[in-house]
Amino acid sequence: MTALCTFLFLMLRTLMLNDQPDKSISKTVVPINYNLSKPDKIYILPPALKEVSGITGTDATSIACIQDENGIIFIYNLESEKVTGKYPFQNSGDYEGIARVDKAVYILRSDGILFGVENYESATSATKLYATGIPAKDNEGLCFDQKANRLLIAPKNNYTLDSESKNTRLIYAFDLKSKKIVQTPVFVFDLKKIKKFAAENKIKVPMKNGKKGDKKEIDIEFRPSEIGIHPVTNKLYVLSGMERLLFVFNMNGEIEYIEKLDSDLFSQPEGITFMTNGDMLISNDVKNNKPALLRFNYIRK
């Protein structure tokens, strides 16, 4: 009788534990205060910016852009809608991200090399190279984390092959004081938790046939093409361009928002940045195959 009571107690305890909410992820979608189905402004970029891969704000009216072939920083004025400056920093290469830190600009090459350009608008500007040593071969996301005085770097793919890590995505930090990479990733995202968040909040995301073919499964790969930190909310925005998905995390790494981007507007979203008032810019190819910036004004409530 005692053994039976013990068995029943353990079964009841197990059921109760399994029924507890998973506190490791946010359960409620946190609104981001943008209408991503309707840009407030579309800027058509010149042909020189056909392959825009990274953008960053430089002042209240301009952004710096790079494209993934030429080692040139392009300054685009949002009021005149023209390129107002070109600043070569390196030979041609696969450049993916750009971030401004005061008067300096940092550019990320896909192999993990960082180029730091001090006083980039000056004729005497100098470029320094920093080998991050990140083992991933396809690094695309770069942004400035002002509060922690660091750059965040997001590989597009998980370079590890072991089964324990295949469902994780990593973000590294480059310390701007020491000018060295932090060896341990500062964010480790669990793809299973991201999918669970999408399922529990009934978010419209890509689906695929299950292994047995009789049930649909969430099809999220989460391949960061660009990252940015919101200047008002301090949330981390991650753009997965290849699957047209936008993810938002708090700075504890907890998922708070996912949105599937309209393919009619976002044929190939690559870069993301914010103006100081919270307005969001996403670089993109529009339907007529012209490079463009889509501006979404921040809705304050």
Q: Any residues with CB less than 8 A from the CB of 61 and at least 6 apart, and which? A: 77, 78, 79
The answer to whether the beta carbons of residues 83 and 67 sit under 8 Å apart is no
pTM of the model: 0.89
Residue 48: phi, psi to the nearest 5? -60, -20
pLDDT at 163: 58
Can you give the residue ranges of every domain in the chain? 24-296
Output the CA–CA distances (angstroms, integers) from residue 288 to 44, 50, 76, 265, 291, in the order listed.
11, 12, 21, 11, 9
Give 10-residue mean pLDDT values along the chain (301 residues): 38 40 62 96 92 93 93 96 95 95 96 95 89 92 98 88 76 97 96 96 91 81 96 97 96 97 91 97 81 95 78
At 113 the three-state DSSP class reads: strand
pLDDT at 222: 95
CA distance 114 to 95: 10
pLDDT at 15: 41
Q: Does domain 24-296 have CATH number 2.120.10.30?
A: yes
